[in-house]
Structures are given as structure tokens and as C-alpha cells.
Structure 1
């Protein structure tokens, strides 16, 4: 009798757990071939391009029970051949994400741990999904539902190099010592409005040999409008404060219009302005806008000449671009031409030269091979100018191009409902 009771009790507990929770275990394998021939900067005389294969492998575990969520994403990023075939060690593993979220109240969630932070079009906060490693932050975010269509996120981060009990200067390996931000979004009919205010602190050693933190601020609104086949978005961000000991004053303006011409065909035009600093300006003041944590590969040409590990605190950028895209069934393709100019003046010696930096043409296509398999490929070419040579060096008359193709596998090993 007791045995029957115990079995019934265990069965009841087990069934309760199963019905109260959801578990998903999935993976992502993404090998990508690239041929870089003047990628990010113009090829110099005597230089040749390079080809390689990189790969991202992720194991993703999602768990949800009642008002509690957990996500763990283990990641391995490598270039084929960077570890010996008989190697006993692999130091390329990391946790891309490891966070927990729970509901404190009906309209208040708390999320903390290693996590991706993505807002709006990813211009200021993005996960940089194109790069094999991606971007994630160690942070805590308070999420409030302010109304039926309104939400407010308040984020905080504090970084250190170790658990040492003695204060030392942070290496700023994350790019900042601390940040605090507020992001609000609401939607009214066809209109969407977002407001972001971000405060970033960087630690440094001051002149008196004491550690100090100075703060810079990025803030501004973004609006979207969509009705029928027409979509519009625009954003304005300003930057002020100090980066270490340098005073910052910079600005950003952008607008895009897209038209869905048919069920399969889309066209659009866009404009971006990121402020910069004249090359002959010898002051220590910072006048160049920095997209900070944005997914910069998404903007200003896919060859990453601007703001992907480069072009920070430079002459800024004006980007006039167009988008022509087609998609039907499993196939998609896109053509994106860019016309680049500097936002500030460029000087060669004492002589001011043209601010035209060149034209880039980006082309990509995609095909959904199966439910969890996607194929993508692309080709880009930069037609640079002598002004771009003055900024980056290299030769604009060389064929500066980039070609790639990539397979993405996203199997789901297990899911419970």
C-alpha cells in the first residue's frame, strides 16, 4: 500500500514539474568562408588578400518555469586550423550568455547575468550577430511594462578584473567600467517612439596618481512609422561628457524610407550623418560620434571600412544609400549601394582636399535549404578615392573586394511543452 502511495506521489510530482516548465536544447553551427582583398582598409602596394574559414558553434539551453527563465549559451569560435589536430587543449570556449530572469511583480521583471542587449535598429545597442563571437554584457536590467503598448528598461553594469579585496585600476577590457541606461518604447497606432539615455564611465589613473572615473552620455529619440506598404524611421542622438580626460561633443542623424513595391520586391533610400573632427584640428576635444555598442556591420557598408574596429575619433561619415531587395519562397537577394563622404574636413598637408571617400556596392543572396539550414553568400567592392587613401593609406585603384559564403545549421535537439 505504501509503495503504491509513494509511486503515485512521485508520478504526481513529476507530472507537475513537466507541466510547469519548458525546456529547449538547441545548437547553432555556422561555418563561413571569406576572401578578404581590401577588407576594412585599402590594400597597400605589394599586399595580397587572404582566404580562411571561421566557425561559430553554440549550445543553447532555455528553461522556463512559471515566472522564472534561464538561458545558457556555450560558445566556441575558431578559424579552421588554429588548433593542432593533436592538440589536447582548446581555449576558444566561452559563455556567450548565462542569465536568469524572474518576475518580481505583474509588470516588473529582473534580468541579470551575461546577456545580449539589443534595442531598436541595433545602432547603439546590438548583439553584433554577424561576428562569430557576437557581443554580450555582464549586466542587470529592470524591465517594466508601463502600459499596454509601453515598456521601460533600466540597465546597470559594474566591471572589475578580479575578486581582489584591494582596489586596482580596471583594465577596461569590456570597454567601460560601468554603465547605466534607460530605454523607453511606446507604440501609438502606426507610430513607434523610443528614447534612449546611456551613461558610460571609464576608469583611469589621474594626474595625481589616483584612480578616477569620467562619464560620457549618449541620448536621443528614434521614431518609426509604418502604414500599408510604406515604412519610415528616423533617429537623433547626441553625445556629451568626458571620455577619460577628453571633452566630448558629437551628434548623429539618420532617416530611412522603404517601400514594398510588390509582395516580393522592396526599395528604399537612407541617410546617415555621424559627426567628425577635421584632420588638422589639434585640440584634445572629441567631436566624432561613436556608435559604442552598436551592430556596426549592419550599417555603412558590409566591408566594415567605418566603425567596425576603426574610424573612431576620425572625420565622421555621411552615408547616402539605397536598398533593392527581392524575396520569394526560400530565395532572397539584396543590393545596397553606398555613397560615402566625410562629415569633417580632410587636409593633405595644409591643403583641404575633397571629402568624397568613395562608393561601395554590397550584394547578398540567401536560400533556405531546409527548415533548420540556411545558405547565404555575398560580394562587396569598395571604389575608394584619394581622400580615403589619405585617411587609411593603401591604393584606391586596386580591386578592394570581399566575397563570402556561409551555412547556418540550427538544430533543436529537445523541446518540452
Structure 2
């Protein structure tokens, strides 16, 4: 049978990643009390990935293990607990080409399974690459592309197990890891439409996303009991990015409405604008500003914008004070920043950023809206195409407004915080261009 079966050609790809990061934390994510000691540890991410593509299909899978050096006893086989990431299936997906390859300049593909969902600059939808565990979704995405135009429709529906009746969903994420960038619960379902057009050296896109969260009621002790039905939150807006000669312009605006996971009426927004200018072949500099609304209206409406499932480490300071696991009272944020980049050759890059942070809403007790100032310095060096090194240092000068009870609520807080890291990344990949298979 194998002898008479017609053969075809396919491509097989195998890749790996070993990323170790040693961190010194003296007020990372939030200022420490003055009598607290800094933390130091080394974490490691190990990934093994494989890809297989043939006639009108692609397959991809990534196995990932994340751990801190020393968290396991060296003489035993650790039993995985919810508080540790451990070994997981990061990606496992198939992509089907619904149009034949003879159709020119058009593609209609269906991608199903566990996958990273990344669009534009990763502000609202990103793979959270900085965190060792990353982010992925169990979803189906229908992708249509023709020429410079892109249209994607995506959907996900989450359940805790194979139920025999009902679809009530417990959205509490396992362990100590938050489900989205604001530390809220995991969505029960999600749908989105993404439409984009490629420009000369950039893109213009529209996003409409709806995510649903399980309804609940508190029991006598205040613990949430999950009920039938959902609250729906909707987010829509535009993103623009383009390079004109030596000037790169970026702008975005999004509006959020409906009800959030806490059943509050929602009316919130995000505005962002920035430019970067190439002063010479090795150095560029630019200015920018981000504004996200926050606070609660007199009618109980929440104005706290949630940047969904993005990569906040990329935008609001590398010390992760805002829109990560450490909350800041849903106050909203004003971020005015200067970013510089020095790249003398293809192997070395040095970036230096300065952020000035303010609350977007009033702080209790008539405190100033100023949160503080952050300076970030990052150096990257590529030893080879496979091996690279990265090191960074950040410093935060905070105010009493940031550590006040209505914001981060840190008593007897230090006024200066530090964070430093060194990271080694090894990422080999092997591609077999042609592989005989049977149909």
C-alpha cells in the first residue's frame, strides 16, 4: 500500500529555547517597606517546538517548562502544584488552507487550537513574551488576506472540564498568575474582529473585541459563587503606525463599554501617540504619551480601562508598576515618556527610557496625582544568531500618592526602588526543507 500511495513534499521544523534570567528586586512592581529586604532569584524557561507543513495544512506545537532555580529538591521528582508553572503545553494548533494554492494573492485559513494571538504592537493582544510563562489562548481564528488587506475573526469558549450538563465556568486562574493584564478573572468566552491594511512602512487597523465573564453572587463568607449567564465587555478602536523617511509615527485610540467582570457598568478609554526620529544611522530618539481613564463615576460607572490581553511590560515602564499583577486602585494612568535607542552595529543595542507617571483620576485625601518617575536602561548583545545576552537596570522615584491606601497601599514605603536583571537566551532551530510523505 505504501509503495503505490502517491507521495508529496512537506517541511519539518524543530526549535528550542533556553532562557535564564537572574533578577534583583528591590521594589519591582511596587515599592517595598523600608524594613524589607530585596529579593534575588534565577528563573528559567525551556521550550521545545516543532512545526510541520504540507499541502494545504500546517501543524505547530510548543512544550514549555518554567521554574525557579532551587524550587525542586534535587533528589526527588517534584509533583506539580498549582502555585508553580511547571510543564505545560504552550501551543498546539493546526492551520488549514481553505483556498487552493492556485488562487493568487488570496488566502482563507482556519487556525484552531492552543495558540498565541498577537496583533499590532501587542498593546491589547500579545503573547506576554517578557513573562517566562507567556500567554496563549484556546481559540479558533478564521483569517482572510488579499494584497495589503487582512480580515481576521476569532472566537474562544472556555470550560473547566467535560460537563454532563450546564456551562457554568469558574474563571479563577490556577496558582498565583493573573488571567489578564489587570489581574482580573479569566474570560468565559471571547470574540473579535480584526481588520488591517498595510501601508508604505506601517499599518492601519481596526479592532472590535467582546469578552464575557461569568456572573456570580457572594456566599455568607464573601466567597464568589459562579452562576449561569455572563457580563459582556466590549472594546473597539484604531491603531496606526508608519515610517515617513526618518520619522516613525504611532497612534492608537480605544473605547471600552458594557459591563466588566465585577458587574459594573463600564465607560473607559485609551489614547496613545508617539514619534521616534532617526537622528543618525546609529541613534534615534522620540517622545510619547499614553492616557488611560480610571476611577468610578457618581452613578457607579467604572471608568477604569483594562488593556485586555496585551504585553504591558513593553509600554508602562519595565518595573511593571501599572497594568500587571500589582494593582494601583483602578486610578487610570498618564504616562509621558522619552525613549532613545543606540545601535552601532547588528550585534549590540542600548536603549534608555524615562517615564513620568500621573494618575488619571483624583487620589483620596486630596493627594497629588503624581505617581513618580522611572528610568530604564537595557543592553542587548548577540554573540551568534543562536546565542544572545540581555541586561537591564531600572530605578523608580515614587511619591506618597503612589503608596497611599487608595493606590498601592504600602505602609512605611521606601521612596526609591531598584530592579536589575541579566538574561541569557539560546534559541537553536533546524529546518528540513523537503520531506517525503504519503497522502
Match of 1:3 in 2: none
Does 2:96 match 1:102?
A: yes
1-side partners of 2:110 and 2:400: how far apart? 52
User: Counterpart of 2:136?
Assistant: 136
The answer as to 2:241 corresponding to 1:224 is yes
The answer as to whether partners of 1:225 and 1:232 remain within 8 angstroms in 2 is yes
Alignment correspondent of 2:294: 276
Pick one of 396, 402, 408 that aligns with 2:425.
408
Partner residue in 2 for 1:308: 324
- Structure 2 Cα separation of the partners of residues 366 and 150 of structure 1: 34
Correspondent of 2:18 among 10, 16, 29 = 29
Q: Is residue 2:177 matched to residue 1:163?
A: no
Alpha-carbon contact 1:288-1:312 (below 8 Å) kept: no
C-alpha deviations, 1:305-357, integer Å up to 9, x for none? 00011336611000000111111221110000000000001022xxx121011
SS at match of 2:327: coil
Give yes or no for contact 2:11–2:431 (8 Å, CA) kept in 1.
no
Q: TM-score, normalised by structure 1?
A: 0.91
- Check if 1:262 corresponds to 2:310: no
Are 1:72 and 2:61 matched, yes or no? yes
In the other structure, the counterpart of 1:250 is 268
For 1:115 and 1:160, locate their aligned partners in 2 and report how far apart those are by CA, in whole Å.
17
Q: Is contact 1:383-1:396 (8 Å) kept? A: no
Residue 356 (1) aligns with residue 370 (2) = yes
SS in structure 1 at match of 2:403: helix
- Stretches of structure 2 that go unaligned for 5 or more consecutive residues are 81-85, 174-178, 180-185, 219-224, 435-439
CA deviation string 1:351-372 (max 9, x = no partner): x121011000000001111220
5 Å matches for 1:16-415?
16-17=7-8, 20-89=9-78, 91=80, 92-105=86-99, 106=103, 107-145=107-145, 147-167=146-166, 169-172=168-171, 173=173, 175-189=186-200, 192-205=203-216, 211-244=228-261, 245-277=263-295, 284-311=300-327, 314-329=330-345, 330-348=347-365, 352-390=366-404, 391-392=407-408, 393-395=410-412, 397-413=414-430, 415=432
The structure number with the bigger radius of gyration is 1
Q: Residue 183 of structure 2 corresponds to which residue in structure 1? A: none
**How much has 1:402 moved relative to structure 2?**
0.3
Distance, in Å, in 2 between the alignment partners of 1:375 and 1:342 is 35
Question: Residue 210 of structure 1: CA displacement?
Answer: 5.0
Provide structure 1 residue ranges, at least 5 long, that are not aligned to the other structure: 1-5
Compared CA separation, residues 86 and 240, structure 1 to 2 (3 A): same
1:42–1:394 Cα contact (<8 Å) kept: no
Cα drift, residue 225 of structure 1: 2.3
Q: Report which stretch shifted further, 285-294 or 50-59.
A: 285-294
Residues in 2 aligned to 1:209 and 1:171: alpha-carbon distance in whole angstroms: 6
Give the distance between the partners of 1:298 and 1:372, measured in 2 at CA. 23
Mapped contact 1:110–1:143 kept (Cα < 8 A): yes
Task: Tell me if structure 1 keeps the 8 A contact 2:31–2:414.
Answer: no
Secondary structure of the residue that 1:328 maps to in structure 2?
coil
**Equivalents in 2 of 1:263, 1:66: separation in Å?**
43
Kept after mapping to 2: 8 A contact 1:102/1:109: yes
Range with greater deviation from structure 2 (82-91 or 381-390): 82-91
